[in-house]
Chain A
Amino acid sequence: MPVPANLRYTAEHEWVDLSGDTATVGITAYAADALGDVVYLELPAVGSVIAAGTGCGEIESTKSVSELFAPVDGEVVEFNQQAVDDPGLLNTDPFGAGWLFRVRLTGPADLLGADEYAALTGGA
């Protein structure tokens, strides 16, 4: 499973792309593969304030439902309507077109590096 080196990660299998005070969030290829075909997404609304480690949405696949945890503290500034309309993008392009939402950071981000995340998933 790819673990792009330029991204940061959480133990809940999310990736975070930090750029200035903005963070783009998605789920990893490992998570997408484990979930199977994603069929429904519930993402935080623009303007909502999220706190790292708390639930902020849902990802539903044919087999299961997973809670989406906020990886950072911040305010949601945008979400990926294309992924809501076509949740299969999380399976086909989890690190690209399958991104979930963008946050304006309001606190320090406590995240894993690519090496740490790769180790966590057994280097799979």
Chain B
Amino acid sequence: MSPSSPARGFADPDAPRNARTTPLHETHRRLGATFTDFSGWTMPVRYGSEISEHHAVRTTAGLFDLCHMGEIELTGPEAARALDHALVGRPSRIAVGRARYTMICDESGGILDDLVVYRLAEQHFLVVANAGNAEVVAAELGTRARRFDAVVADTSARWSLLAVQGPRSAAIVAEVVPLDVTGLKYYGIDATTLSGRDVLIARTGYTGEDGFEVYCAPEDAAAIWKSLAEAGDRHDLVPAGLACRDTLRLEAGMPLYGQELDRTRTPFDAGLGRVVVFDKDDGFVGAAALAARRDRAPEQILVGLRAAGRRAPRAGYDVLDPASGRPVGRVTSGAPSPTLGHPIALAYVPAELAEPGTPLAVDIRGTSAAVEVVTLPFYRRGT
């Protein structure tokens, strides 16, 4: 038996030994986690069954270690203006205590990373970047903010991040923080304490469920994990690894940097043109290229696919025109959906083949498998 897909299944014995571990590594080890190397970090991929962990997040709650994520802070009188210039969105319009999903692009409009930006105070922003891009984002922000009265600091080493995700997450978090969490809006953030330790708590996530992200000092991470796990015990909270995080975000139709998003794609290609704001006072990096992109139809756009059979289209597989068998696109992520019970995938296909209901095919290791374009997201939680 040998892994033949780009999504490697085996814990790689040749994984770099210098991969970083999070402050929760020992906690995961005691829980019997299987680890994987992810963007230079040794992270828990699952604790038992990733399908069970997936179902727990959809029905009760899951607890995630996200300490690998990067944090960059901007402070100063022109911090907001600097971010408006550096990013495709308009962080200056974010209210204090709120957050926004946005992106940072290069001059040609290519995506360098997708980000969540929190406004902690009038002159204080927290930018959260993907682990693999944190250094690039910090360096770019530093360069782009140079002509503004703002200070950029990569504070990744000063923050740990845990997430509680799932329908019971509010009840769990309410037990350990003095804050009225039901009053915290989606994409809101507030400073509070958790079991007596200073934290920032945000109602954000990457699973398609209600949930919270807790930012804390690395030395408090293990104690905060323990508090949340104990409070979650009677709510059927389970520790949840990166394997289920991937299937959860895929069902929710959320892109993953390195799969759906990279430097060769613009936000418009990914169907996320709405994050780009053009009428900004100081302009922004990538504006000209992105305006051109906005004004002509993209050649390929990101769509959802549903497979008819049991075999899942996987990242890197060709999408075929079913009539000619000719390759017309590429799968970027795919997996059997635990919630829906059939394989799902995200793929770039020509705009004329992107309409929901369009029959296509995917070359699954030499066999043409029938798929259909479907509306995203694949899964939307009930209200």
A residues at B contact (CB < 8 Å)? 12-14, 27, 31, 33-37, 39-40, 58-69, 91, 122
Min CB–CB distance B198 → chain A (angstroms):
36
Q: Does B51 contact A (CB under 8 A)?
A: yes
Known contacts A12-B2, A36-B45, A36-B50; decide if A64 and B8 are in contact (CB<8 Å). Answer: yes
Instruction: List B contacts of A63 (CB < 8 A).
Output: 7-9, 45, 50, 243, 246, 335
Tell me the total A-B contact number using a CB cutoff of 8 A: 81
Is the CB–CB distance between B1 and A67 below 8 Å? yes
Min CB–CB distance B6 → chain A (angstroms):
9
Min CB–CB distance B272 → chain A (angstroms):
26
Instruction: List A contacts of B46 (CB < 8 A).
Output: 36
Known contacts A63-B50, A91-B49; decide if A35 and B10 are in contact (CB<8 Å). Answer: yes
Is the CB–CB distance between A40 and B3 below 8 Å? no
Min CB–CB distance B381 → chain A (angstroms):
20
Q: For residue B246, which residue of chain A has the nearest CB? A: A63
Is the CB–CB distance between A12 and B50 below 8 Å? no
Min CB–CB distance B15 → chain A (angstroms):
12
CB-CB contacts below 8 Å: B1-22 with A: 1-5, 7-11, 13
**Cα A47 to Cα B379 with chains together (Å):** 42
**Cα A37 to Cα B246 with chains together (Å):** 14
Q: For residue B13, which residue of chain A has the nearest CB? A: A122
**Cα A27 to Cα B2 with chains together (Å):** 11
**Cα A59 to Cα B3 with chains together (Å):** 9
Min CB–CB distance B62 → chain A (angstroms):
15
Given A34-B34, A36-B49, A58-B365: 10 more A-B contacts, CB < 8 Å? A13-B1, A27-B1, A35-B9, A35-B10, A36-B50, A39-B51, A63-B9, A65-B7, A66-B3, A67-B1
Is the CB–CB distance between B336 and A60 below 8 Å? yes
Instruction: List A contacts of B310 (CB < 8 A).
Output: 39-40
Is the CB–CB distance between B336 and A65 below 8 Å? no
Q: Does B263 contact A (CB under 8 A)?
A: no
- The 10 A-B pairs of least Cβ separation, nearest first, read A64-B9, A34-B10, A65-B5, A35-B9, A37-B51, A12-B1, A64-B7, A67-B4, A39-B336, A64-B5
Contact with A along B31-68 (1 / 0, CB 8 A): 00010000000000110011100100000000000000
Is the CB–CB distance between A34 and B9 below 8 Å? yes
Instruction: List A contacts of B247 (CB < 8 A).
Output: 62
**Cα A92 to Cα B365 with chains together (Å):** 28
Instruction: List B contacts of A36 (CB < 8 A).
Output: 9, 34, 45-46, 49-50, 243
Q: Does B312 contact A (CB under 8 A)?
A: yes
Is the CB–CB distance between A66 and B243 below 8 Å? no
Is the CB–CB distance between A67 and B50 below 8 Å? no
Min CB–CB distance B369 → chain A (angstroms):
12
Name 10 interchain pairs, CB-CB below 8 A, sorted by A: A37-B49, A39-B51, A40-B336, A63-B50, A64-B314, A65-B314, A66-B4, A66-B9, A67-B1, A69-B2
Q: For residue B7, which residue of chain A has the nearest CB? A: A64
Is the CB–CB distance between B243 and A62 below 8 Å? yes
Q: Does B359 contact A (CB under 8 A)?
A: no
Partner of A62, one of B1, B2, B335: B335
Instruction: List A contacts of B314 (CB < 8 A).
Output: 64-65
**Cα A83 to Cα B336 with chains together (Å):** 17
Contact with A along B311-324 (1 / 0, CB 8 A): 11010000000000
**Cα A122 to Cα B13 with chains together (Å):** 9
Is the CB–CB distance between A66 and B50 below 8 Å? no
Q: Does B350 contact A (CB under 8 A)?
A: no
Instruction: List A contacts of B7 (CB < 8 A).
Output: 63-65
Known contacts A33-B34, A39-B336; decide if A67 and B2 are in contact (CB<8 Å). Answer: yes
**Cα A63 to Cα B314 with chains together (Å):** 9
Min CB–CB distance B213 → chain A (angstroms):
24
Is the CB–CB distance between B50 and A69 below 8 Å? no
Is the CB–CB distance between A62 and B34 below 8 Å? no
Instruction: List A contacts of B34 (CB < 8 A).
Output: 33-34, 36
Q: Does B338 contact A (CB under 8 A)?
A: yes
**Cα A37 to Cα B45 with chains together (Å):** 12
